[in-house]
Amino acid sequence: MTEFAQDTSKTNINNPTAPRLLQWLPAAFLLGVVGLGAAATLTSPGFRERVLGKDVITGTWQLTWEKGLDAKVPWRDLSVNLWGNLNYRLFGEARDGALVGKEGWLFTSEEYQTAAGDEAEIAAKVKYVQQVHAELAKDGTRLVVALIPAKTRVYPEQLRVQVPAQQTEGYGTFRQALMRAGILVPDVWGALKAAKQERPVFLHTDTHWTPEGANAAAQAIALAVQEVASDLPPAEYTVQIKPATERSGDLLRYVPGPAPDRVRELEYTRTDQGGGGLLGDETLAVTLVGTSYSADSKDNVWHFDDAVSQALKTEVLNVAQEGKGPIVPMREYLKSEERKDSPPQVVVWEIPERFLRVEYNETK
């Protein structure tokens, strides 16, 4: 983990106003739990057998005991969750990995991180995107970059701690650099800012967008694709709003206190006779490459690929991958049989802003 540009060693970054007198409570709470676990371990038959046996002579009993201690702490998971909840309720804090905003909003700490090498890394990303653009052009394929703004950028009014100044111009700088190179980069940030006036475009407790946010981004991207693509294979879709359900976001692993999101999933259904993609009679003219914002998984309630398909009125081939960032899926797609056998008219590359400073060897 890289360090923040600002000095947070003396300031509580989650809640700078937390009383200093209460800062000893986390240590006292956890020491008490560990103490109970240690007592239970010391009095256990297994521990006595090790101490009285030959393991004490060889010293291996200590290693075995240390490995088993954490599992023997009574109510460990309950204690961790209890303290996480109290920490949120009393101090408005989360464990390392997330920051607590206002009104139940949570943000990933990745969007606050900065380092001296960020500028060089972002420049390397620009260069790599240009290389991908040139490689796709060999097959007559146009590249459209769907640059997803950071959640902190879209909802600055919900922050308790402002992001470092080093981060403030990142989105615009990267977008302008790509556009100067002739790469289409629709203004997804502007689309999300407009859409959030009606409905939330990011989930409160998750790093990802809502179905409405994904739909708003898809509309902006469709306009860019239509500038460079013609005669797309037609497809018709209906959209149904499903009843609201609870969804616990990925940021709740760092703070169990906030209430889960209420999500109205959008269900997209193709209604014409086409379909089948590369394995059927229809060749897909648009390919979507990206991250978990686009990938089709069991936790995906935003269905970005379907939203793009509906906005373009053509079926989109989705090769996005979860948990690999934006670079690896593109690198693998460029080498794939899908691209070799049927190069599309357009590739939409979804890149979250929060990954721009993350180093990947593939960009070197």
Active-site positions? 206, 208, 292
In a domain, 3, yes or no: no
Residue 331: CB atoms within 10 Å:
17
Is 305 found in the same domain as 161?
yes
Strand 316-318 versus strand 286-289 pairing type: parallel
Is 129 found in the same domain as 83?
no
Is 335 found in the same domain as 219?
yes
Answer whether residue 160 shows pLDDT above 90. Answer: yes
Is 188 found in the same domain as 54?
no
What integer pLDDT is reported at residue 167 of this predicted model?
81
DSSP H stretches of helix in the chain: 25-42, 45-52, 55-58, 60-72, 76-91, 118-137, 151-154, 170-180, 188-195, 211-228, 304-312, 327-334, 337-341
Last residue of a domain, one of 111, 134, 168: 111
What integer pLDDT is reported at residue 50 of this predicted model?
47
Last residue of a domain, one of 111, 126, 159: 111
Is 96 found in the same domain as 127?
no
In a domain, 7, yes or no: no
In a domain, 14, yes or no: no
Is 146 found in the same domain as 67?
no
Q: What is the pLDDT of residues 103-156, one digit of tens each?
A: 999 999 999 999 999 999 999 999 999 999 999 999 999 999 999 999 999 999
Is 230 found in the same domain as 124?
yes
In a domain, 187, yes or no: yes
Q: The whole model's pTM is what?
A: 0.77
What integer pLDDT is reported at residue 82 of this predicted model?
47
Is 125 found in the same domain as 97?
no
Number of domains, the chain = 2
Are the C-beta atoms of 311 and 218 separated by less than 8 Å? yes
Its domain, for residue 290, covers 118-363
Q: What is the pLDDT of residues 28-59, one digit of tens each?
A: 555 555 455 545 545 555 545 544 454 444 44
Is 264 found in the same domain as 122?
yes
- Confidence tier at 281 by pLDDT (50, 70, 90): low
Last residue of a domain, one of 111, 143, 169: 111
What integer pLDDT is reported at residue 198 of this predicted model?
96
In a domain, 17, yes or no: no
CA distance 67 to 82: 24
